[in-house]
Amino acid sequence: MEIYSWNVNGIRAVKRKGFLEWIEETKPDVLALQEIRIQPHQIPNKLENIDNYYSYFNCGDKKGYSGVALYTKEEPNQVEFGLEIDKFDREGRVLTAYYDDFTLLNIYFPNGRSSQERLDYKLDFYDAVFEYCQELRKQGHSLIISGDYNTAHHPIDLKNPDDNRNKSGFLKIEREWLDKLEEHDYVDTYREFNPKEIKYSWWSYRTRARERNAGWRIDYHFVTKDLMTNIINADVLTEVMGSDHCPVWLKIETDT
C-alpha cells in the first residue's frame, strides 16, 4: 500500500494545476491532504467523487482556511473528525481513519509564526494530539501520523538553521515535541530510511525559494515503532509541483 500526504495550499488551486491528472497517473492507495481551504458546499463533484476512491473532508469553520481531506481506495472501518476539543476542531485539522492493519491520522498542525497567541495554540495542539495518539495506542492501535507538522526537526531539515532558531517552525520548544514523539517510540519514516539525505518539503513562495532549494522538511509520516517491520520505504517527492509543499510518500506492506 502506498500512502501520500500533501499540503496542497488550496484544493481548488491545486486542481487547476493538474491535481486530478496527478491522481490518475500516480494512483495512490491513500492520499491525505492538508490546507484544503474549502467549505463543504464549495466542494465540486469532480473533487468529491473521484473514480475508485472514497473521500472524506473535514473543513474549518473559517472560509478559505485550514481543513483536511482523505482519498482512499479501501473503505476505512471507521472515520472520525477532530479531537473533540472545540477550539481545535473549529479549524478542521484532524481526520482519523481506522483500517485493519493500522490507524491513519491526517493532521494539519498549526503555524505559530503570526503571533505568540498562535504559537501557544500550536503548542497546545501538539499536546492534545500527543494525548490523543497515546490513548489510541492504549486501545491497541498502530498509528501512522501523516501531515504538515509545521516544524523542522533537525538542522539537516532546513536550509538555514542558524538564521531560523528564533522563528516558529524551528524553535527549541517545537523541536522538543518531535523529540518527545521519538522518545515514545514514534519513528520519522523518511529519516529512518534516509539518515543523511537532504530533502525539503516546503519552500516559501515569497522568496522564490524552490528555485534555490532553500526549503524546510516539515511534512512527515511518523509511525509507531511496531509498524516499522511493515514499512518498505519512505520519500519526499520534490519533483511534484502544484503547491508550496510537495507530497511525502510511504510504502507499507499490509495483510489486506
User: For residues 169, 111, 58 and 187, what is the CA-based torsion angle, rounded to 10 degrees?
Assistant: 20
User: d(Cα 209, Cα 213) in Å, to the nearest integer?
Assistant: 6
> What is the phi/psi pair of residue 105, to 5°?
-110, 120
Write down the catalytic residue from 61, 86, 124, 148.
148
Active site residue 127: no
Which residues does 31 contact at the CB level (< 8 Å), separation at least 6? 3, 4, 5, 6, 23, 53, 70, 71, 72
Q: Cβ distance 215 to 201 under 8 Å?
A: yes
> What is the phi/psi pair of residue 101, to 5°?
-95, -15
User: d(Cα 124, Cα 23) in Å, to the nearest integer?
Assistant: 34
Residue numbers annotated as active site? 148
